[in-house]
């Protein structure tokens, strides 16, 4: 596997932990659409010498559509494989799956709840780009109410020292109280702001997210109110520090203008690539240990 320095490193195979006539199999069990997360896990498994069983729309194209419970689905599919990589539209669904299964279950997003593997690749990206995780200032922008990725990132950043988090959003999509209460409990300084440029000028990391239309139902008026309010453009880049970075979990719509892409501080495509390395490490840890 090539790393970003241009050197080549060998990719270890998980087959070495098993008999010569068997290999690791994972299932990517996705009840919601995904591009980066699902494909990165599947790519990782292939690179590690394993195989993948996949269903990219289990909500419609599995026995769930016939009324099968999540627990019954998990009890069935765990007999075919070694690990389940799961995304679900209900908060807490992955926890239910993990409590049911006798094999590892990786949460790759459960409704508006959490997205732990994204948070891991995000802190890896920050450390790799900025050079540290302690003492940083991070702006979380956009749909903070429905964005499981920013929730998980805020939770994980609380593990580090002297971190300050700015929440930049409209009232209708502001960060929920449970995360703010957790940060306060852990002694993490946080602040809510409506001024994107002022916050961006102070921060090491400017983390943008899209406004998620799918969570607004028929309230298109609220979606239109939130959409387009906070956009990362060349003007915002102009007030950012030279070492600072712009991150985005993707996909983006128009919340980062395309003319930002060429700036070296635009880290979001490097961020997406980092998901490969983090998920490779995660699978190795869960399946064969360190």
Show which residues are catalytic: 36-37, 66, 87, 115
Secondary structure (DSSP) of the chain: -B-TTS-B-PPPPGGGGS-TT---EEEEEESS--SHHHHHHHHHHHHTT-EEEEETTTTTSSGGGGT--HHHHHHHHGGG-SEEEEEESSTTHHHHHHHH-SS-EEEEEETTS--HHHHHHHHHHHHHHHS-STT-EEEEES-TTT-HHHHHHHHHHTTSSS-EEEEE--GGGPPPHHHHHHHHHTT-EEEEES-HHHHHTT-SEEEE----GGGSTT-HHHHHHHTTSS-B-HHHHHHS-TT-EEE--S--SSSB-GGGTTSTTB-HHHHHHHHHHHHHHHHHHHHH--
């Amino acid at each position: 596997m090539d790393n970003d320095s241009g050197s080549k490193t060998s990719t270890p195979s998980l087959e070495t932990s098993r008999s010569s006539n068997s290999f690791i199999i994972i299932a990517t069990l996705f009840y919601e659409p995904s591009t980066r997360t699902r494909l990165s896990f599947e790519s990782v498994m292939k690179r590690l010498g394993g195989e993948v069983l996949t269903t990219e729309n289990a909500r419609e194209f599995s026995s769930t559509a016939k009324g099968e419970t999540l627990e019954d689905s998990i009890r069935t599919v765990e007999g075919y494989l070694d690990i389940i990589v799961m995304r679900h539209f209900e908060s807490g669904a992955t926890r239910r799956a993990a409590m049911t299964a006798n094999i590892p279950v990786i949460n790759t997003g459960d409704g508006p709840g959490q997205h732990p593997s994204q948070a891991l690749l995000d802190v890896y990206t920050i450390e790799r780009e900025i050079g540290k995780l302690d003492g940083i200032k991070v702006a979380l922008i956009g749909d903070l109410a429905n964005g499981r990725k920013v929730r998980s990132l805020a939770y994980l950043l609380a593990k580090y020292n002297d971190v300050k988090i700015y929440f930049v959003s409209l009232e209708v999509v502001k960060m929920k109280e449970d995360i703010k209460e957790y940060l306060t409990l852990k002694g993490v300084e946080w602040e809510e702001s409506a001024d994107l440029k002022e916050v961006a000028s102070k921060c090491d990391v400017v983390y943008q997210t899209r406004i998620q239309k799918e969570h607004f139902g028929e309230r298109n008026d609220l979606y239109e109110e939130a959409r387009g309010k906070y956009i990362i453009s060349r003007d915002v880049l102009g007030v950012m520090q030279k070492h600072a970075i712009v991150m985005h979990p993707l996909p983006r719509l128009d919340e980062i203008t395309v003319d930002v892409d060429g700036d070296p501080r635009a880290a979001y495509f490097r961020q997406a690539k980092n998901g490969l390395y983090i998920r490779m490490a995660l699978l190795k840890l869960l399946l064969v240990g360190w």
